[in-house]
């Protein structure tokens, strides 16, 4: 990237894909590109026989990508780097696909560059998470206090990859099965040594992701901010929501579904599952996404 950040990615491709078969893909908060390791191959096969290309980025500070020296992980920074990736790929038009925080980034991307976005697909998300303007001063104070505390906090240590996987499944935020966490957790780890009370050096692992991500962000966005981006979306939009996932509060979705006023079509589909349903039931998610994507082809073919 022009800012010196190195962005890692996972890439699936079975030929030269057209606009609605190229997917710039974004993972969720503290996940990484491997969270699409089950879904991506299924989409390649189910959206055939024509070629499909899926590029899943590791956001900065996540997975194998660089950390930011500025410690600024605002959503617009992810957008800036995604823009440069599409430039490097030579993609003038493509779809965006994102899970959780990545779904929020996908919606903002589609609103920022509607002319280049052919489809927008969000998994267990419907836009960026927001905070009221009145709450933001306290939010910033909490960030500063947590950042001070972080300076003296020891790095977490796991004696094995299995230990880290178990910790990831019990982080207190979103339920995820151990077999699902095992798919992406190793990419988020790096080797670490620790000396025990007897002076013995123990080999293990710690998290590779930037520790700044584990505290409150310095900035947040308001409903009006998010709404302004989503109102600019012109492509077809799909949200696949898990029944026990992030968008459990139906009132949030019922309000937000009115935000993309210029989208060609807005589809909300609810399926049984938890927040990482795209890992825990990838065939079901692949079926819903593929059926919807194929359905978007029909009006295009009718005009030919």
Classify residue 252 as exposed, middle or buried by CB count within 10 Å of its CB (0-12, 13-18, 19+).
middle
Residues 60-116 pLDDT 10s: 999 999 999 998 999 999 999 999 999 999 999 999 999 999 999 999 999 999 999
Q: Indicate if the pLDDT at residue 135 is higher than 90.
A: yes
Tell me if the pTM is above 0.85: yes
Domain boundaries, the chain: 9-133+221-302, 135-214
Query: What is the arithmetic mean of pLDDT over 235-264?
Result: 88
pLDDT band at 267 (very low <50, low <70, confident <90, very high): very high
Q: Indicate if the pLDDT at residue 274 is higher than 80.
A: yes
Query: What is the arithmetic mean of pLDDT over 143-155?
Result: 94
CATH class of 9-133+221-302: alpha beta
Query: What is the arithmetic mean of pLDDT over 40-50?
Result: 95
% of the chain beyond a pLDDT of 90 = 85
**Poorest-pLDDT segment among 44-48, 84-88, 196-200, 257-261:** 196-200
The predicted structure's pLDDT at residue 249: 56
Query: What is the arithmetic mean of pLDDT over 246-251?
Result: 64
Say if CB 130 and CB 222 are below 8 A apart.
yes
Query: What is the arithmetic mean of pLDDT over 115-120?
Result: 98
């Amino acid at each position: 990237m022009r800012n010196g950040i190195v962005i890692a990615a996972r890439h699936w491709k079975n030929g030269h894909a057209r606009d609605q078969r190229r997917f710039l893909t974004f993972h969720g908060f503290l996940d990484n590109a491997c969270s699409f390791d089950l879904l991506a191959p299924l989409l390649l096969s189910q959206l055939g026989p024509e070629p499909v290309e899926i590029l899943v980025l590791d956001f900065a500070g996540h997975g194998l990508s660089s950390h930011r020296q500025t410690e600024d992980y605002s959503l617009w920074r992810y957008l800036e780097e995604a823009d440069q990736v599409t430039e490097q790929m030579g993609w003038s038009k493509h779809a965006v696909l994102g899970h959780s925080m990545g779904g929020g980034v996908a919606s903002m991307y589609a609103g920022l560059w509607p002319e280049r976005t052919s489809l927008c697909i969000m998994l267990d998300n419907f836009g960026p998470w927001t905070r009221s303007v009145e709450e933001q001063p306290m939010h910033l104070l909490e960030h500063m206090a947590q950042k001070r505390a972080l300076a003296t906090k020891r790095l977490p240590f796991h004696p094995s990859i299995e230990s880290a996987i178990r910790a990831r499944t019990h982080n207190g935020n979103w339920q995820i099965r151990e077999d699902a966490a095992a798919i992406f957790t190793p990419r988020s780890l790096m080797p670490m040594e620790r000396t025990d009370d007897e002076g013995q050096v123990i080999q293990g692992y710690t998290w590779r992701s930037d520790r700044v991500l584990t505290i409150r962000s310095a900035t947040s966005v308001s409903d009006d901010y998010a709404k302004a981006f989503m109102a600019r979306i012109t492509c077809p939009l799909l949200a696949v929501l898990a029944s026990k996932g992030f968008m459990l509060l139906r009132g949030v979705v019922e309000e937000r579904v009115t935000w993309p006023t210029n989208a060609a079509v807005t589809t909300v589909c609810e399926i049984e599952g938890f927040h990482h349903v795209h890992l825990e039931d990838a065939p079901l998610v692949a079926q819903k996404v593929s059926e919807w994507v194929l359905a978007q082809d029909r009006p295009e073919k009718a005009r030919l």
